[in-house]
Structure 1
Amino acid sequence: MPHLLVVDDMPAICELIADIANDEGYTVATAGNIAQAQDEIRVLPPDVVLLDITLPDGDGMQFWEDMALRGAQVVFMTGQPTVDSAVSALRAGAADFLRKPISLRRLRGVLAGVKFPPIDEKNRADNCFAKLKGQSRALQLLRTHIEKVAPTTATVLLVGESGTGKEIAAEAIHLAGPRFDQPFVPVNCGAISPNLIESELFGHQKGSFTGADQAHQGYFDRAQGGTLFLDEITEMPAELQVRLLRVLESGYFTPVGGQQDRKADVRIIAATNRNPELAVSRGLLREDLFHRLSVFPLELPPLRDRDDDVILLAQHFLDELNASNHTAKHFAPDIADTLRRHPWPGNIRELRNYVYRNYILADNELSARLNPFEMVLAPQSGAEISVPLGMSLADANRQIILETLRQSDGIKKHAAQVLGISAKTLYNKLEEYGYKDEQDP
C-alpha cells in the first residue's frame, strides 16, 4: 500500500485529499508546514508527496530539492499558477502539477495515475540495512539474525542500551520482511501520558470520554497490514499490558468506547533498554507478556563493543553535516584514538551529538579537545532519602524522582539517566506531580 504525505497549511485541503487518497488505496499523513513534513518523513518516508509551493516556513520546491527523497514522487500544488512555476516544478522533478482550488476529478486521476517502479529485490535487500552502518563482527551477527527472523511472523523483542539503534533495527526487520510495502509505525510507550496511551494505541469512538469530540484512529489501525514498533515497552502501565497481551493472543482489539472488535493485522516488534528479566522481577513488565513478546529476542551491541564502527559512524555523521551545510570540515588526525577510548554510555546518540557539537565549534578541523564529553555533574554520593513503612509505592516513587532531580541540579536528562528511565517518562511524571521548573523539588 503506497504512502502519501500531504503538505499544505490549510487543514480542510489536507483532510479532503486524505479522504480521496484513502479511497484510492493510499495510507496518508498530513503536515501544515515544512517542519511538520520533516517529522512525518522521519516517521515513515512517503512514496508520493502532494506539496504546496508556498508554505508558512519556506518554499515547497526548495524543500523538495533539499530532501532528495529517493524513490518518492512529488505533485506540486499552488493557488497562483504561472508558466514559470509550472516550468520550475517540472525541473524539480514533479510527476504532476495541481492548481487550487483542486478539481476532485483531476486529483483522483493524478493519484490513480502515479506509476511506481518495479521492486528490485536485490536493492531492497541492500536497503533494509542501509541505516545499520558498521563493519564490526557484532553488527554483522545482528544483521544475520535480522535476515533470519524478518521473513517469519515471530514477535521480536529488541534489548539494548539507550542509543544503540533499536528503532533502526526494528525498521530493518520490517523492510526485510513480507510487510515491507506496508506502514512501519513506531510508538514510544514512555512518551505518551498514561491517561492517553490506551486511546493512542487502540483509538476511541466519538463521545467515549470527556473531550472526545471526534473518533480517533489509534496506532493499531494506522499500522494495519504492516509493523507496529512498541519502544520502551516496560514504561507501559500494567493494566494496559493486560490489554496488549489479549490483543497478541486473540488478534483483535476494541477502540475505547467501541462495541465491535477489529482485527489487528499487525506484526509486533517491542524494545526495552532495561534487562527484561529484571523488569519482570520488579513488576515493570508482566511475565506472561514478556514471554509473548520475546519469541525471538535480539540484543543490540553497545557502541563500545563494536570495534572501529565508532570511527565509521563519526565520519558518516560528519559527512551528513557537510552535505547539508555545504561545508568541507574534517576530523583532526588524533581524534580516532579519542573516539576509541571513550566508553560512549549514550552509544550512537551520544556520538552523533558529540560530532554535531564539535562541528559547530570547529572552523575547519574537528579536534577532540574542542568539547568535553561529560557536561553534567554527578549527583552527590551517599545521598539518602527515608521511605517510611506503609508509604504507598506511588508516593515512594514520587519522593525518589524529585530527590534525584534535586541531586542532579534540576538537569532532567541526567536525572532520567540516574533513574534508568527515559527523559520523556520523567517529563510525564513531573507533569503528573505538578512540578514546575521554578519550584524547588
Structure 2
Amino acid sequence: MANGLNVCGNVVGLPTLDAKTQAVLHEDRAPYQETELSRCGKLYGASEPMRNLFTMISKVAPTNANVLIVGESGTGKELVANVIHQKSKDSSQPFVALNCGAVSPQLIEAELFGHERGSFTGAIRSQKGCFERANGGTLFLDEVTEMSLDMQVKLLRVLETNRFYRIGADEETEVRVRVVAATNRDPAEAVAAGLLRRDLYYRLAVFPIAMPSLRERGHDIGLLADLFLQQLNAEEGCNKFFSRASLRLLQAYPWPGNVRELKNVVHRAFILADRELDIAPAIGPVRNAPTLAEQNTDCVTVQIGSKLADAEQQLICATLDHCGGNKTMTAEVLGVSLKTLYNRLNEYQSKLFLQDAIVHASPYGVQARN
C-alpha cells in the first residue's frame, strides 16, 4: 500500500499496482508513477489545482459561511459539499442534498419548506421539507440556477431570516442551516442572463469554490484511472492492467464528463477486457468532444505581410473558439502557459479598437478568472 497525504489531516492507504503490472507500464507511466494521490474525504488528487481545492475546503469547513461551488458536471461538487460538512463542527448533524433541477417548479416549494396536512391535493399528512430535515446541519442545493426566480426570492428570505412558512401553515418555522449551493453555469453569466438573482448570488457566494475540470489536473487522470482500476480488481479478484496505448489516450482525451466519465470509461473497459484494458472502445460510443489530435484538423489563414502580433491574435482567438472556450486546453494546444494565454487575452481586451474583432473571432470572452 502506498500512503497518500490527506491535506485535511489524515494519512490514507491507496491501492498500488503489483510488480508485474508496474514493469509492463513503467515506460508510459514514467511522468506520474512516483506521484502519490492525496485524499480529502472521497476526493483524490495530486495536482496543484486539487491541492489548492483541499486547502480551500480545510479553511471554510470549520466556519458557518455559505459556500457556492462552481464547476462542470462530473467534477465532484457534491463530494466537496459532503467533505465541507464532514469537516465542520456540525458534522454529527444531518446532511441533506437536493437537486433543484430534478424537482418540478410546482413541487420544489414543498420539497424545500414542507407542507401541512390538507394544504393541497394529495397532502394526506404533514411533512418536513429539506430545511427542517437539515436543521443544525448542512443543506446542499445542487444546480441552484435551475430554480425559478419566484423560488429564489423565497430562498433568499430564508437565508436572511432563518425563517419560513410550511405550505398551509399559519406560523413560521425557525431553523439554523448552513447552505452549500452548486452550479455548472458561470454565476456571472447566469446573473446577466436573468437565471440567477444577483442578491441571492451574493448571499450564497460568501465563500466561492471553483472546481477544476479533469483536463486541468494533468497526471491526476492517470492516477485516478489506476485507482479506479485497482478498486475494480479488488472487488472482482482480478489483476487487469491498462495497455500502453490506453495510458497515452487517457492523457490525450479531454474528458468532457470529467471524473464521472473517467470512472465509467474505466469500468466499461474493465468489463470488456480479459486481461489488458483498452479504453478506446469504451470511449468511442459515447465520445462527445474532440481529442487533442482532432482539434488540429482546422487551420488559420494569415495574409502575407500581416503583422506578427495580428497573426498571433488571430491564431489564439481561433484556437480558443475551436477548443470550445476552454482556456486550459487552448494553452496546451498552443504550447504556452495558461498565464501567458490570459495575459494575451487581457491585452486584446484592453485595446478598444480591437474589441469588435475579438468578439467576432471568439464568443468566449477574455475575462481571466482567479
Give the TM bin, normalised by the shorter chain. 0.5 to 0.7
Report the residue type matching 1:364 in the other structure. R
CA deviations on 1:29-84 (whole Å, 9 max, x unpaired) are xxxxxxxxxxxxxxxxxxxxxxxxxxxxxxxxxxxxxxxxxxxxxxxxxxxxxxxx
The answer for the alignment partner of 1:212 in structure 2 is 123
User: Is residue 67–residue 209 contact of structure 2 (8 Å, CA) maintained in 1?
Assistant: yes
The answer for the alignment partner of 2:275 in structure 1 is 364
Question: Among residues 58, 83, 92, which one is paired with 1:147 in the alignment?
Answer: 58
Which sections of structure 1, spanning at least 5 residues, go unmatched?
Answer: 1-121, 379-417, 419-441
**Does the alignment pair 1:232 with 2:143?**
yes
Change in CA separation of 1:149 and 1:182 when aligned onto 2, cut-off 3 Å? same
User: Is residue 256–residue 288 contact of structure 2 (8 Å, CA) maintained in 1?
Assistant: no
**Does the alignment pair 1:266 with 2:177?**
yes
**Does the alignment pair 1:295 with 2:206?**
yes
Q: How does 1:9-408 map to 2 (within 5 A)?
A: 125-126=9-10, 129-373=40-284, 375=286
1:376, distance to aligned residue in structure 2 (A): 6.2
Question: How far apart, CA to CA, are the structure 2 residues paired with 1:124 and 1:221?
Answer: 29
Change in CA separation of 1:306 and 1:198 when aligned onto 2, cut-off 3 Å? same
Change in CA separation of 1:199 and 1:373 when aligned onto 2, cut-off 3 Å? same
Report SS of the residue matched to 1:133.
strand
1:323, distance to aligned residue in structure 2 (A): 2.5
1:123, distance to aligned residue in structure 2 (A): 11
Question: How far apart, CA to CA, are the structure 1 residues paired with 2:72 and 2:8?
Answer: 28
Report the residue type matching 1:238 in the other structure. L
Report SS of the residue matched to 2:49.
helix
Report SS of the residue matched to 1:334.
helix
Question: How far apart, CA to CA, are the structure 2 residues paired with 1:324 and 1:258?
Answer: 50
Report the residue type matching 2:229 in the other structure. L
1:284, distance to aligned residue in structure 2 (A): 0.7
Report the residue type matching 1:237 in the other structure. S
Change in CA separation of 1:236 and 1:354 when aligned onto 2, cut-off 3 Å? same
Question: How far apart, CA to CA, are the structure 2 residues paired with 1:151 and 1:371?
Answer: 41
1:124, distance to aligned residue in structure 2 (A): 8.1
* Identity between Structure 1 and Structure 2 (%): 51
The answer for the alignment partner of 1:6 in structure 2 is none
CA deviations on 1:97-151 (whole Å, 9 max, x unpaired) are xxxxxxxxxxxxxxxxxxxxxxxxx998438813110110000001111111111
1:375, distance to aligned residue in structure 2 (A): 2.6
Change in CA separation of 1:308 and 1:376 when aligned onto 2, cut-off 3 Å? closer
1:225, distance to aligned residue in structure 2 (A): 1.0
1:322, distance to aligned residue in structure 2 (A): 2.2
CA deviations on 1:320-339 (whole Å, 9 max, x unpaired) are 22222332222123322111
1:374, distance to aligned residue in structure 2 (A): 5.1
Normalised TM-score (structure 1): 0.56
Report the residue type matching 2:146 in the other structure. E
Normalised TM-score (structure 2): 0.66
* Higher relative contact order (CA closer than 8 Å, sequence separation 6+): 2
Report SS of the residue matched to 1:190.
helix
Question: How far apart, CA to CA, are the structure 1 residues paired with 2:60 and 2:282?
Answer: 41
Question: How far apart, CA to CA, are the structure 1 residues paired with 2:231 and 2:155?
Answer: 39
1:369, distance to aligned residue in structure 2 (A): 3.5
User: Is residue 354–residue 373 contact of structure 1 (8 Å, CA) maintained in 2?
Assistant: no
Further displaced range: 269-278 or 332-341: 332-341
Question: How far apart, CA to CA, are the structure 2 residues paired with 1:130 and 1:377?
Answer: 30
RMSD across aligned positions (CA): 2.1
Question: How far apart, CA to CA, are the structure 2 residues paired with 1:344 and 1:253?
Answer: 42
The answer for the alignment partner of 2:296 in structure 1 is none
Report SS of the residue matched to 1:337.
helix
Report the residue type matching 2:207 in the other structure. F
Change in CA separation of 1:369 and 1:344 when aligned onto 2, cut-off 3 Å? closer
1:353, distance to aligned residue in structure 2 (A): 1.2
How many matched pairs? 258
Question: How far apart, CA to CA, are the structure 1 residues paired with 2:135 and 2:177?
Answer: 6
Question: How far apart, CA to CA, are the structure 1 residues paired with 2:122 and 2:170?
Answer: 19
1:153, distance to aligned residue in structure 2 (A): 1.1
Which sections of structure 2, spanning at least 5 residues, go unmatched?
Answer: 1-5, 13-38, 290-323, 325-370
Report the residue type matching 2:83 in the other structure. A
User: Is residue 125–residue 176 contact of structure 1 (8 Å, CA) maintained in 2?
Assistant: no
Change in CA separation of 1:123 and 1:369 when aligned onto 2, cut-off 3 Å? closer
Change in CA separation of 1:376 and 1:342 when aligned onto 2, cut-off 3 Å? closer
Report the residue type matching 2:87 in the other structure. A
User: Is residue 206–residue 212 contact of structure 1 (8 Å, CA) maintained in 2?
Assistant: yes
1:263, distance to aligned residue in structure 2 (A): 1.4
Change in CA separation of 1:296 and 1:168 when aligned onto 2, cut-off 3 Å? same
